Structures are given as C-alpha cells and as structure tokens.
C-alpha cells in the first residue's frame, strides 16, 4: 500500500440527517486503512466566492455584517454563496454588486481555499476585482443587512494585526494577493 | 437606531437538530431589524487551534491528511479541536505532539480567526511554536492517520501560489505571521 493509499478513508454508509437552506448534514461511517471504523460528520455546501475589490484610490471594499452564528458584527471582504450551477465568476460579479453596489471591469482569480475541511466541503473561490463603478439601482438582499466600508490596504493589514478583522477567508484572500505580487 | 443595532439579528426560537461528535446543528428563526424573519442554520463547534511550528533550520511542519469531506489529501499546518474546557495553548501543545511527534519550548499566539462565520461559530486560535524537540513515545490519534512533512517557508509560499496548499486556516496563519514580522 502506498503512503497516500494508507491515508484514504472509505465510505461504508451515509445518512442525510438534515437538508436545509445552506447546510446539508451527512453522517457517514467510514473505514480507515488500518481497519478502524469511525464516524465523519460532513456539512455539504454549494461553495462560495470572496472578492478583494480595490477602488481607484487603492482602497479595499469591506462589509460589516452581523454574523448570527458568532453573535457579533464582523468586518470581512464581500462574499457570497454560489447558486446551483452558477459559475464562480458570475457569482462574484453578482455578490459584489449586491453587497457593495459596485461593478468591476477587471477580474482575476487568485485561488481557491477550503474553509474548514475537517467537517465541510465548502470551497471559496478568491477573486481580485478592479475598475470599480457604482451600479445604478443595485438591489441588496433583504435577508442580509450589511454596511459597506472601505480602507487602504495598509490599514486593513493593521486591523488584522490588531485582531479587528478575524475572518479566515479575508486573511486567506489577502495572503494570496500578497504572494501574487499585490 | 444606530447602524450597529440595525445590523443585529434577534433569536425567535432555536431547535437542536443534530448533536454529534464534532458537529452540533441548531436551526434558529431570527428577526432582522427591518422586521423580516429568516432561518439561520448554525453549526456549533468547540473551537480549535492551528500551529505554525518552525524547526531549527527554519522549516515549517505540515501534515498531509485525507480530508473525508473534500475527498482528497490536503497539506495543512497541524491543527486540532479543543477538548471541553481545554485552554487553547494546552490544546496546541497536545495536538502538535499528537500530529507531528514534536514538542515546542517557545509559544506565541498570533491571533484567532473565524473559519466560516456564515454558518458556524468555529474559531481557530493561531500559535507560533519554536524550539522543537522530538518527543519519545508520542502516541498519535488512531482515528486520524496523517503524514508529517516539513518545508522551508519560501517553498510553502510557492505551494500556496501554485494552489497545492488550499487550506484557509493555513493561509490565515501565514498571513498573521507575515504581518507580525515573520
């Protein structure tokens, strides 16, 4: 058996425990290569996008949003979930407009990250967006109240250093941007 | 009403749908400040730690691990979940030893991040660890097969750039380290 084969886990059976709006919970019995059996609880997710959108004055667009699961307002890069069958770039354009009221003319994918692969298959595609223009009559999502703000990147990095920005996808996106010459 | 009050959401009721090993799923009805009601699906999680452990040759310890939810082997910084009531630093020491067979003599917390605050309260505390020494008779977790590897930081960053490392907490930890003089 190769090292990679030794790491693999094989599904014995799977039960769909909850089929919700965002969260689809599966509880699977799996067999490890050492013969042990264990349970894996998996949140199936349709995937998401996050946008590092930079305006003509080199300011980064962020959103302040009450995050019910953590019970506080977080500052994050704009982001959103893929609709079924939606391409990540189309989703990024749609969500940037919905969350910030801006459209971008230049787009580049910086990478993709798994948010927390121990219990979910959620992947977030990371986009850099430039050439921002306000959209007339942009219509925000009524079930998602948020406040769009903008800060120069050095200030964003200072807020991360001070623990004022603690959203993992936001940090991951900024690292990808720095490693690609940002 | 202040802007922050406008962003808040108020719980109407809450149902515990699944109470598992790692995942505890709550489905709550909430009221937004605009009067709308919506459902929030929340995965309650006990929290976790991730360790950026650097050896005497400035190499970073990583683990390769089959991640059942995403169906592939990922390369990540060593990490693990808090036991009930466990302090993050104690958890970091325990998990570093379990996953890599190393103990560290110097520890510093770089920050904490929310992995995916749209649907879980999981927080990951990020530690920098130095002064590594192999532990005699270290006992790995039998339900978690993994392979410890190590690479110099420039190579780790190159793997991120090429999309060979896609784990969000790993990228977030490296950004925190870079922003704090790493």
B118 touches chain A (CB under 8 A): yes
What does the alpha-carbon distance between residue B168 and residue B20 come to, in Å, rounded to a whole number? Answer: 24
A92 touches chain B (CB under 8 A): no
Q: How far is B51 from chain A (nearest CA, A)?
A: 15
The partner residue sitting opposite B68, judged by closest CB among A30, A145, A163, is: A30
User: Is residue A131's pLDDT more than 90?
Assistant: yes
A77: left (phi over 0), alpha (psi -120 to 50) or beta: beta
Q: B81-102, pLDDT tens digit by residue?
A: 999 999 999 999 999 999 999 9
Q: How far is A56 from chain B (nearest CA, A)?
A: 24
Q: A146-167, pLDDT tens digit by residue?
A: 899 999 999 999 999 999 999 9
Q: How far is B151 from chain A (nearest CA, A)?
A: 17
Q: A9-67, pLDDT tens digit by residue?
A: 999 999 999 999 889 999 999 999 889 999 999 999 999 999 999 999 999 999 999 99
- Domains of chain B by start residue, with CATH: 3-44 (no CATH), 48-179 (3.90.79.10)
The partner residue sitting opposite A168, judged by closest CB among B38, B43, B169, is: B169
The partner residue sitting opposite B112, judged by closest CB among A18, A114, A166, is: A166
Residues of A in contact with B146 (CB under 8 A): 7
Q: B100-115, pLDDT tens digit by residue?
A: 999 999 999 999 999 9
Segment among A130-134, B18-22, B137-141, B154-158 with least mean pLDDT? B137-141
CB–CB contact B40 A112 (8 Å): no
Q: Give the other-Cβ count within 10 Å of B156's Cβ.
A: 21
What does the alpha-carbon distance between residue A30 and residue A33 come to, in Å, rounded to a whole number? Answer: 10
Q: Residue A137: its pLDDT value, please?
A: 76
User: Is residue B140's pLDDT more than 70?
Assistant: no
User: Is residue A134's pLDDT more than 90?
Assistant: yes
Q: A58-103, pLDDT tens digit by residue?
A: 999 999 999 999 999 999 999 999 999 999 999 999 999 999 999 9
What is the chain B residue with the closest CA to A161? Answer: B179
Confidence of residue A181 (pLDDT cuts 50, 70, 90): confident
Across chain B, mean pLDDT equals 94
Residues of A in contact with B179 (CB under 8 A): 157, 160-161
A174 touches chain B (CB under 8 A): yes
Q: B38-75, pLDDT tens digit by residue?
A: 999 999 999 999 999 999 999 999 999 999 999 999 99
User: Is residue A142's pLDDT more than 90?
Assistant: no
Q: Residue B182: its pLDDT value, please?
A: 81
Give chain B as a DSSP string: --HHHHH-EEEEEEEEEEE-SS-EEEEEEEEETTS-EEEEEEEE---EEEEEEB-TTSEEEEEEEEETTTTEEEEE--EEEPPTT--HHHHHHHHHHHHHSEEEEEEEEEEEEES-TTTB--EEEEEEEEEEEEPTT----TT--EEEEEEEHHHHHHHHHTTS--BHHHHHHHHHHHHTT-
Q: Residue A133: its pLDDT value, please?
A: 96
Structure tokens at B55: 């050896």
Q: Residue B137: its pLDDT value, please?
A: 76
Q: How far is A104 from chain B (nearest CA, A)?
A: 24
The partner residue sitting opposite A22, judged by closest CB among B41, B112, B175, is: B41
CB–CB contact B69 A42 (8 Å): yes
Specify whether B142 is catalytic.
Answer: yes
Confidence of residue B139 (pLDDT cuts 50, 70, 90): low
A18 touches chain B (CB under 8 A): yes
């Amino acid at each position: 058996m190769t090292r990679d084969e030794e790491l693999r886990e094989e599904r014995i059976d799977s039960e769909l425990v909850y089929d919700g709006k965002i969260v689809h919970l599966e509880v699977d019995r799996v067999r490890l290569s050492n013969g042990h059996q264990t349970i894996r609880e998996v949140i199936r997710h349709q995937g998401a996008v996050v946008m590092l959108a930079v305006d003509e004055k080199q300011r980064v667009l962020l959103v302040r949003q009450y995050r019910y699961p953590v019970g506080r307002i977080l500052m994050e890069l704009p982001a959103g979930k893929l609709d079924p069958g939606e391409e990540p770039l189309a989703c990024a354009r749609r969500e940037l407009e919905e969350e910030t009221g801006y459209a971008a003319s230049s787009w580049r994918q910086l990478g993709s990250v798994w948010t927390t692969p121990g219990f979910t298959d959620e992947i977030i595609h990371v986009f850099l967006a430039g050439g921002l223009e306000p959209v007339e009559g942009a219509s925000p999502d009524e079930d998602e109240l948020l406040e769009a703000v903008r800060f120069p990147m050095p200030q964003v990095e200072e807020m991360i250093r001070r623990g004022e920005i603690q959203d993992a996808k936001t940090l991951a996106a900024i690292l990808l941007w720095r490693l690609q010459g940002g």
